[in-house]
Structure 1
Amino acid sequence: MSRICIIYPESSTPQTGMGGRHHYLARELVRLGHDVTVVAARWHHLLRDGVDTDALPAEEVVEGYRFVRIDVPKYAHAHDRRRVLAWLVFAAKLPALRRRLAAAPDVVLYSSPHPVGYPGAERLARACGARLVFEVRDIWPLTLIEIGGYSPRHPFIRFLQWIEDRAYARADRVVSNLEGAVEHMVARGMDRDKFTWVSSGIALDEVAAPAPLSPEVAAQIPADGLRIVYTGTLGTANALDTLIEAAALLRDLPDVHILLVGQGRARADLEARRDALGLTNVRFIGPVPKPQVQSVLAACDVCYIGWLKSPLYRWGIAANKVPDYLFSGRPIIHGFSGGNDPVGKFDAGLTVPAEDPEALANAIRRIHAMPETERRRMGENGRRAALAHYDYAQLARRLEEVLTG
């Protein structure tokens, strides 16, 4: 048995947020016989609306692992500059975490998206004589440079770059859910042998027995026709404006329905664009609880996921919805111009260039005209891939080798 400390500032439990990657990995590591603690900020923007963070316990046990919260300043939203202050406070408090842990950890894993907390995690690990693992789920500061438009010479970007390079040099092991990220890391000076790919995944016990849809949501899904669904955050990075533009090219197919299930800062702009184009084939449905996602997908015919046309994605993608979509058994239309494309790899749907409404509309026409047997074949390919490669129980065993090897 090893004592494992997983530090991710924006982690949550299923009761307070999505739960997500570290909840499932921690749960599975406990089942493998390890003592696991997950450390997160008490408040962050990924928590569910309405959660009273002040009333949350400093520590609690969740499905066998310990969940520890660190107090940080609150901020308004993901793009609020005070979010950086929360990062810095969280990082500063990590070395003192040793006093809150029941026993010194054998291994400390620090997970980005942002690497600001890594130096604090490094100090904690060294003080405890623990193995140190750095997990990269978004490549920062590269994401801020190539997507956010920041200059590499910006002082904060240089600070983040110093942290990233330090982590690659000093961490005992490095993991990522981006399959191709190793090439970027090696270019930044990392020893290739440190790297292990541990993808995003699915919890089979949840996706195999999804919760039924509420009557309000079920009533908004058309009973027939070709129902194309997107589930998740309605944000600019998801290329949903491309989907709206493609819908405008499909007016001659009245039985094609495009459903956007979720919430996000881009929703108002997307609805305004739909209305400006006079589209009747696009519906916005609010967010549904994660246990209902598979029920939404089962009520539709095709899944959509899109990305911006950015060189950042040359290292691959790791959206949580990809394993969910694959497991659904529905073909996927993928607007993507990067590397390591899972849809193409598993022949689980159609991939078209990112941010290309005409190509996307043509892919929808192909799916619309496709025999049901061919749609079913692609969907079954995706389901097999999900079971073979994205089960969190299997992924936890791969991570266990990194943490304890």
Structure 2
Amino acid sequence: MSRIWLINFFASTPATGIGGRHHYLGRELARMGHEVTVVAARRHHVLREGVDTAALPAEEMTDGYRFLRIDVPAYAHAHDKRRVLAGLVFSARLAGLRRRLGGRPDAVLCSSPDLLSYLGAERLARGCGARLVFEVRDIWPLTLVEIGGYSPRHPFIRFLQWIEDRAYARADRVVSNLEGAVEHMAARGMDRGKFTWVSNGIALDEVAAPAPLPPEVAQQIPADGLRIVYTGTLGTANALDTLIEAAALLRDLPDVHILLVGQGRARAELEARRDALGLTNVRFLGAVPKPQVQSVLAACDVCYIGLTADPLFKFGVSPNKLFDYLISGKPVLYGIDSGKFKPVERYDAGLTVPAEDPQALADAIRRIHAMPEQERRRMGENGRRAALEHYDYAQLARRLEEVLTG
């Protein structure tokens, strides 16, 4: 048994946020017999709206692992400059974990995109003689430069770049949920031998018994036709305007239905675009709780996932909804330019189209509309098999265990 500390400023439990990657990996590592602690900030912008952060316990046990919260200054949203202060305080207070937890870890994993945490995690690990693993879930500061529009010469960007390069040089091992991230890391001087790909995935116990849909949601899903569904945040990055524009090219197929299940800042703009185009084949169903997602997918025929055509995605992507889609057994329309990571093509689990290309997406929908049901079912089964064989969190945790324990 090893004592493992997983540090992620933005971690949460299922009761306070999405839970997500470190909840599932922590749970599985604990089931293997390890003593696992997930360390997070008490307050951050990824927590569920309405959570009383002041009332949350400093420590709690959840699904076999310990979840520990570090107090940090409050900030209002992702772009609030006080977020930097919160990150610095979090990093500084990591040094007190050894005293607070009453022992030394065998392994410390520090997860980005909060690069500031790495400095505190490195000091902690080296002071305890622990193996140090740096995890990259979003390539910072490159994301801030290529998508956020910041200059590489900005003083804060240069500071983050120094931390990133230091992490690649000094961490014992480096992992990422982005398969192609190693190319960026090697270009920054990292030894390729340090790298291990540990994708995001699915928790099979959660998808095995999905919660039923309430009648007010179920009745909005057409009883027949080709039902193409998107589930998740309605945001600009998800290329949902491409899906709306593709729907406008499919007016001659009245039995094709586009269903968007979720909420987000882009919803009003997307609804306005639908109305301006006079579309009757696009419906917005609102968000559903995570346990109901598989019930939504089961009631539909095809799943859509897209992202904007940003060069950053050439290093790969690992969106949670992709794995929800694969395990559903439904074919996937994949509109992401994700470099060598081509999961739908790799597993023959649907159709892949260029990002932000409404005509190509509409053509793919026509192709899948004309497909025999047996062919669609074959693609869906391929995707489900891939999810079971490659993206079960129990298997992913075993891969991470090898990195953490050597």
TM-score norm. by structure 2 comes to: 0.97
Residue 273 of structure 1 and its aligned partner are, at CA, apart by 1.6
| Native 8 Å contact 1:114 1:138 kept in 2 | no
Aligned residue identity for 1:43: R
In structure 1, the residue matched to 2:309 is 309
In structure 1, the residue matched to 2:235 is 235
Separation in structure 2 between the aligned mates of residue 236 and residue 73 of structure 1, nearest angstrom = 29
Please, which runs of 5 or more residues in structure 2 have no aligned partner? none
Residue 32 of structure 1 and its aligned partner are, at CA, apart by 0.5
Correspondence 1:128 to 2:128: yes
User: How has the CA–CA distance of structure 1 residues 73 and 274 changed in structure 2, closer, same or farther, with 3 Å as cutoff?
Assistant: farther
Separation in structure 1 between the aligned mates of residue 201 and residue 120 of structure 2, nearest angstrom = 28
| Native 8 Å contact 1:213 1:295 kept in 2 | yes
Alignment root-mean-square deviation, CA = 1.2
Residue 74 of structure 1 and its aligned partner are, at CA, apart by 2.4
Aligned residue identity for 1:372: E
| Native 8 Å contact 1:247 1:281 kept in 2 | yes
TM-score norm. by structure 1 comes to: 0.98
Residue correspondences, number: 405
Correspondence 1:197 to 2:202: no
In structure 2, the residue matched to 1:141 is 141
User: How has the CA–CA distance of structure 1 residues 353 and 110 changed in structure 2, closer, same or farther, with 3 Å as cutoff?
Assistant: same
Helix, strand or coil at the partner of 1:117: helix
Aligned residue identity for 1:161: Q
Residue 102 of structure 1 and its aligned partner are, at CA, apart by 3.2
Cα deviation per residue 1:54-106 (whole Å; 9 max; x = unaligned)?
11101100011000011122222223333222222222221122222132111
Helix, strand or coil at the partner of 1:109: strand
In structure 1, the residue matched to 2:167 is 167
Separation in structure 2 between the aligned mates of residue 80 and residue 247 of structure 1, nearest angstrom = 37
Residue 43 of structure 1 and its aligned partner are, at CA, apart by 1.3
In structure 1, the residue matched to 2:342 is 341
Separation in structure 1 between the aligned mates of residue 166 and residue 317 of structure 2, nearest angstrom = 24
User: Sequence identity of aligned pairs in percent?
Assistant: 81
Cα deviation per residue 1:340-392 (whole Å; 9 max; x = unaligned)?
11111111010011011111111111111111011001101000000000011
In structure 1, the residue matched to 2:293 is 293
Residue 48 of structure 1 and its aligned partner are, at CA, apart by 1.4
User: How has the CA–CA distance of structure 1 residues 283 and 77 changed in structure 2, closer, same or farther, with 3 Å as cutoff?
Assistant: farther
Helix, strand or coil at the partner of 1:330: coil
Separation in structure 1 between the aligned mates of residue 275 and residue 228 of structure 2, nearest angstrom = 19
Please, which runs of 5 or more residues in structure 1 have no aligned partner? none
Separation in structure 1 between the aligned mates of residue 62 and residue 102 of structure 2, nearest angstrom = 16
In structure 2, the residue matched to 1:18 is 18
Higher mean C-alpha displacement, 23-32 vs 114-123:
114-123
Separation in structure 1 between the aligned mates of residue 87 and residue 326 of structure 2, nearest angstrom = 34
Separation in structure 1 between the aligned mates of residue 131 and residue 21 of structure 2, nearest angstrom = 21
- Matching of residues 6-405 of structure 1 within 5 Å: 6-339=6-339, 340-405=341-406
Residue 225 of structure 1 and its aligned partner are, at CA, apart by 1.3
| Native 8 Å contact 1:112 1:137 kept in 2 | yes
Higher mean C-alpha displacement, 147-156 vs 388-397:
147-156
Separation in structure 1 between the aligned mates of residue 8 and residue 373 of structure 2, nearest angstrom = 43
Separation in structure 2 between the aligned mates of residue 319 and residue 388 of structure 1, nearest angstrom = 18
Poorly superposed stretches of 4+, deviation over 4 Å? none
Helix, strand or coil at the partner of 2:101: coil
Helix, strand or coil at the partner of 1:67: strand
Separation in structure 2 between the aligned mates of residue 348 and residue 314 of structure 1, nearest angstrom = 20
Aligned residue identity for 2:361: L
